[in-house]
Amino acid sequence: MTNHEQDPPQDPLWDLDAEEAILGTCMTTPYIVQHVRAVLPEPRAFLRGHHQTIYAAILDLDQNGHPTDPVAVKDYLQRAGTFHKVIEGNPAYLHDLMTRGIYAGDITHHAGIVARHWRNRESIARLQRAIREIHGQDPDDSPDRLRDLGEHLIKTADDLTTGTPGNQLAERFPRVDWLDALTADYSDIDWLPGRWLERGQQVALVGDGKVGKSLFVLDWIWRAITGRPALGDIRREPIRVLYFDRENSQRDIATRLGALGATADDFEVLQDRVDYRLFPPFSGALNASDTAAREMLAIVADTRPDVVVLDTVSRFIAGKENDSDTWLDLYRRIHEPLKGQGIASIRLDHFGKDMEKGSRGSSAKTQDVDHVWELTAYDEMRTYSENVEAVTTRLKMLRTHTRTGLGDDVFHLTRRGEKERGGAWLAGRTRHELTDATEADAHRLKIQTFVDELMMRGVPAGLGRDALRVWAKQNNVPLPGKTAALQEVVTALKVAQKS
C-alpha cells in the first residue's frame, strides 16, 4: 500500500504493518476500539502523521457512539477538512487500511507493539533533551542539577528496558480508592425485569429438551421489552435484546410470540427492541475462533443490547463439553467482553443424561457465569372442552450456583396455555405466572411425604432415580409418576439420609 506521505527511515522503533492493522481492525470491528484505546490512549502513539489523524477520528466517533467504518471516518475527515490531505495520492487509502484489518490476528497484541515503539521513542526524546541540558550546564555551578539529571537518565533508561513507564501502569491497572469503595451505596441493585439477573451478569438456564426453556425466555423477553411485570417483579424500564438462535425456526418463534400475545400491531416494538438472528453463520465456534467471536461482538456493538441470548449454547461451541478449556475459552472470547461492557447474557443449556448432575459438561460451565438456573417441570394437567385443550404445567426455577447470593434462589411458576384440539396454540392464551406460595408449600409437603414414607420403610442409601423405582416396586412403596417430581424425591431423600 502506498501513500503520498514520506515515511520515516526504517528503524526498530516503528512498525508500519502494526499501525495499519490496528486502524483497519478499528474500522471493521467497532467493539475493539475501546480495547485498543486502553493500550493506545493518544493518537501520537502512531508515528505516521496521517495515521494519527485517522485514529483521532476513530476515537472521537466511538466516544460519541457513532460507527467507525470507512464511510463514517471519511465523512468525519471531510467535515474536519483533512480528508484530502490524508488520502492524497491514494483515494482508496481508507479501504486499503480496512483490508489490512481483516487479516489481523490479536489486535491488542499489535497495539502493544505500537505502544512499545511509542514509549521507546518518547524515552529517547527525553534522553536527548536531558543530554542537551547537561551540555548547557556548568558542573561547577550546579552539581545538584547534574545529580537530578543523572537520576532522570537512569529512570529513562529503565523505561527503555521495561517498556512500561510507571504512570502508564497506573492508568492501565488503577488501584481501588478505598474511601470511595467504602462510602458508596451498594443497596440499589440494578435488576433486569424479574430480578433473576442483574445488568451485566452472565447466567445459564438449564433444563431438559421438553421443559420449554425457549418459551419461558421468549415470554420473559416479551414482558421485558414492553415494560410488563415479569416473575412478580415491579414494572421496569423496557430493555433491548439480541438473540442468537440455532434451535428454533421462524415459524416456531412467530407462533410462540402470537400465543404470548404479540400481534402485527407490535411490529415496531419488536423491530426496535429485539434483534433476532436465526442460525447465524459465524466463521467458526465462538469458543475456538477469534474471527467468529469478533463477528458476534461486532453485532453486539452495532445493536447495543441490554441482554444477549444464546439458544442453545452447545450449538455455538466446539470441543468436548466436559473439557474445562471449552468453557474457559468461551468466557475469554465472549462472556468477558460482554461483562466488561455491562451487557448481560443468558445461555440456554440442556441437562446431561443424569439430571442429578445438572447441565452437561464440566464444572467450568458453572464457574464462568454468575448464576446457574435449572428449570424443571414437576406436574402437568390437561383438560378438554369441545374444541380447546388447556395445558397447565407446574415449573420450578432453582438457582444451583451463584456468585453474589443476591435475590431469590427459587421461583415456582405455572405455565398456562390453550390450543385447538390437535392444532395450533391460540393467540394470547399462553403465559407464565408465579405460583401461589401455598401451592408451592403443598407441593413441597407432598414431596416430603414420599421421603418420610421411604425413610420409614428403610430405603437403602445412595439410590438413583431408576434404582429407587425398582426398590419401591419390590417393596410396594408409592412414588410420584412424573420424572421431575421423582427426581425431587431422590434429591430430598439424599439430604434426609445424610442428616
Mean pLDDT of 183-197: 86
Query: From CA 204, how far away is CA 401, in angstroms rounded?
Result: 10
Q: What is the pLDDT of residue 182?
A: 85
Mean pLDDT of 123-139: 70
Sign of CA dihedral 280, 284, 285, 290: negative
Mean pLDDT of 467-471: 92
Name residues whose C-beta falls within 8 Å of residue 32's C-beta, 6 or more positions apart in sequence: 25, 26, 107, 108, 294, 297
Sign of CA dihedral 343, 348, 352, 355: positive
Percent of the chain whose pLDDT exceeds 70: 84
Q: Do 330 and 381 fall into the same domain?
A: yes
For the stretch 130-164, what's the b/e string if a residue is b when 16 or more beta carbons lie within 10 angstroms of its beta carbon?
A: beeeeeeeeeeeeeeeeeebeebeeebeebbeeee
Domain assignment of residue 186, yes or no:
no
The three grid cell numbers given for residue 117, joined into one nine-digit string:
515503539
Highest mean pLDDT among 62-71, 110-119, 138-147, 210-219: 210-219
CATH number at residue 312: 3.40.50.300
Cis status of the peptide bond prior to 312, with omega within 30 of 0: yes
Percent of the chain whose pLDDT exceeds 90: 42
CB of 97 closer than 8 Å to CB of 19: no
**Domains in the chain, number:** 3
pTM of the model: 0.58
Q: Do 425 and 494 fall into the same domain?
A: no
Q: Do 320 and 459 fall into the same domain?
A: no
Q: Do 213 and 168 fall into the same domain?
A: no
Q: Do 121 and 15 fall into the same domain?
A: yes
Residue 114 has pLDDT above 70, yes or no: yes
Residue 405 has pLDDT above 80, yes or no: yes
Q: Which of 76-90, 120-134, 399-413 has the lowest mean pLDDT?
A: 120-134
Q: Which of 1-10, 325-334, 481-490 has the lowest mean pLDDT?
A: 1-10
For the stretch 88-99, what's the b/e string if a residue is b when 16 or more beta carbons lie within 10 angstroms of its beta carbon?
A: eeeeebbebbbe
Q: Do 145 and 108 fall into the same domain?
A: yes
Name residues whose C-beta falls within 8 Å of residue 113's C-beta, 6 or more positions apart in sequence: 15, 18
Residue 132 has pLDDT above 50, yes or no: yes
Q: What is the pLDDT of residue 165?
A: 47
Q: What is the pLDDT of residue 279?
A: 96
Residue 218 has pLDDT above 90, yes or no: yes
Q: Do 346 and 263 fall into the same domain?
A: yes
Q: Which helix (H) or strand (E) holds 254?
A: helix 250-260
Domain assignment of residue 260, yes or no:
yes
Residue 412 has pLDDT above 80, yes or no: yes
Percent of residues in the chain assigned helix, strand, coil, to nearest 5: 50, 15, 35
Q: Do 391 and 296 fall into the same domain?
A: yes
The 3-state DSSP class for residue 350 equals strand
- Mean pLDDT across the chain: 84
Higher-pLDDT residue of 474 and 48 is 474
Domain assignment of residue 182, yes or no:
no
Mean pLDDT of 81-94: 82
Higher-pLDDT residue of 130 and 21 is 21
Mean pLDDT of 52-57: 92
Q: Do 85 and 220 fall into the same domain?
A: no
Name residues whose C-beta falls within 8 Å of residue 246's C-beta, 6 or more positions apart in sequence: 279, 280, 311, 312, 315, 316
pLDDT confidence bin for 181, thresholds 50/70/90: confident
The three grid cell numbers given for residue 292, joined into one nine-digit string:
467468529
Mean pLDDT of 36-63: 89
Helices 483-498 and 437-456 pack at an angle, to 10 degrees, of 60
Residue 381 has pLDDT above 90, yes or no: no
pLDDT confidence bin for 166, thresholds 50/70/90: very low
Last residue of a domain, one of 127, 156, 174: 174
CATH number at residue 35: 1.10.860.10
Q: Do 415 and 278 fall into the same domain?
A: yes
- Report which DSSP code applies to 306: S
The predicted-structure confidence for 273-296, as pLDDT tens digits, reads as follows: 999 999 999 999 999 998 899 999
Domain assignment of residue 76, yes or no:
yes
Last residue of a domain, one of 435, 454, 476: 435
The predicted-structure confidence for 291-334, as pLDDT tens digits, reads as follows: 899 999 999 999 999 999 999 999 999 998 888 889 999 999 99
Residue type, position 220, single letter? W
Indicate the pairing of strand 371-384 with strand 388-402.
Answer: antiparallel
The three grid cell numbers given for residue 77, joined into one nine-digit string:
475527515
Q: How crowded is residue 77: how many other Cβ atoms within 10 Å of its Cβ?
A: 20
Residue 2 has pLDDT above 50, yes or no: no
Range of the domain at 429: 202-435
Q: Do 15 and 130 fall into the same domain?
A: yes
Q: What is the pLDDT of residue 239?
A: 95
Q: What is the pLDDT of residue 223?
A: 92
CB of 245 closer than 8 Å to CB of 253: yes
CA angle 214, 217, 221 (to 5 degrees): 135
Query: From CA 429, how far away is CA 418, in angstroms rounded?
Result: 6
Q: Do 462 and 386 fall into the same domain?
A: no
Question: DSSP labels for 219-238?
Answer: HHHHHHHHT---TTPPP---
Burial of 44 (0-12, 13-18, 19+ CB in 10 A): middle
CA angle 372, 377, 380 (to 5 degrees): 165
